[in-house]
A = this chain, B = another copy of it.
C-alpha cells in the first residue's frame, strides 16, 4: 500500500462553479488498487498557494498527483512552481514534445513552437508525460522523497494520462488487495446495518458503503480472496439481501442479461418525463428497448396511451389505476413485452393534503399481468425524480427475474 495526496488546481473549483471530479475519480481507482489517499486539496490558480500546498504535502506521502495549471495562459502556474520547488529551470521536453508537435501542422504547430511553447516544457531533470489528447505535457519528478505527477485538469486528458501512468506501472498496484463491487437494490443503510452490521468485521473485510437514492453500492476489500468470497456468501445467506444483491455495480447489465433475446421493453413517463428511458439507455439498449412515451400532459395520457378520460377524471392522474393503464397502453402502443410507467408529483408545486409532493405510482405490465406500486419519496424535485427512476428500474429488474424464474 502506498500513500497519496491529490491536489486540484483552479479558481473555478474554489469558486464553486464546478465540482472537482478528477481527484474523485482517481481516488476511486487508487483505492481499488489497494492504495490510500490521505488528502485531497483544491487550491487557487496562484503560485504561492500551490507552492504552499506542495511543500506541506511532499515528504509526507509516497505519491502526489496534481491536476491542472499546465495550460498556456498566465493562470497556469503548476509548471513554474514545480521548477521552483525543484530548484531547476524549465527546458524543452525533447522527445515527448516532438511527439505532440508531430500531430499538428500549420498555424497550430507554429503557435506550439511559439506563444504556446510553454506547454511543452518541463523542469530540467523531470520526466515529461505524453498527452495523447491535448497539447499540454504532464510532468513527473521526485521532491523530498515523494514522487510527484502533474497532469492537465481537462477531465478527458487527466483521465487518459492517469490511464497511461497506471497502465505503465508508474503507479504500481499494491499487490495484496482483493476488491469486489456489490450492489444492493432497494436496500437502505438501516436495513443493511440491522441484517449484517458485523459481517464484514467477522471476515476482516474493509467495507465502503455508498447510498444512492434507494440503492446501496458496496465496495469490499481485503488481503484474502477467500475472505471476500466468504463475506459475499454470508450476505447471500440473508434472504432479504440475497434477493437484492447484484455482484458488480451494474443494474443495467443485469436487466440486459435478463431481457436479451426474450423481451422488448417500453416506458410511459409522466413525472419523470424521460428520465427512466434515459437511464435505461445509459448503455446501448437497442436490442431490448423499443422506446416510450413522455405523457407529461393529460392529453398525451389519453390521446397516446389510451388512458380512459373518465378514469383520469375519477382517480386523478396520480393514481394506481392510471399508472396501470399507462403501462398497458405503452406496451400495446409499442408492441413490447413489458410496459413500465411512472406518474406522480415531483414538486415543488402541485401537492395537496391527500396527494402530497413525492407521491409516486409506478406501474408494470408484463406477461404475468399488470401491477402497480405506491411510494412517498422525500426530497426536492431532483431527488424525487432520482428515487423514482431507481425504484422503477428495481421493479423492472424484479419483474424480469420473476418472468425468467
Contact = CB atoms under 8 A, between A and B. Distances in A.
A16 B25 contact: yes
Contact of A40 (B37, B41, B333, B382): B41
A38 interface: yes
Interface stretch (A104-112, A169-177, A225-233, A288-296): A288-296
A281 B273 contact: yes
A39 interface: yes
A25 B13 CA distance: 10
Nearest to A25: B16
Contacts of A334: 297, 299-300, 303-304
A303 B335 contact: yes
Contacts of A286: 296-297, 350
Given A16-B28, A290-B297, A304-B334, 9 more contacts: A12-B209, A13-B24, A15-B219, A16-B23, A20-B40, A39-B53, A274-B292, A278-B385, A291-B304
A365 interface: no
Interface in A377-403: 379, 381-382, 385
The SS class assigned to the A binding surface is: mixed
Contact of A296 (B31, B281, B299, B381): B281
Interface stretch (A42-50, A84-92, A136-144): A42-50
Contact of A39 (B23, B41, B285): B41
14 contacts: A14-B27, A14-B37, A14-B40, A17-B208, A18-B24, A20-B20, A39-B43, A273-B281, A274-B275, A274-B294, A286-B350, A292-B293, A300-B334, A303-B335
A358 to B, nearest CB: 14
Identical chains in the assembly: 2
A284 interface: yes
Interface residues of A, number: 77
A21 interface: yes
Contact of A294 (B283, B294, B348, B350): B294
A373 to B, nearest CB: 21
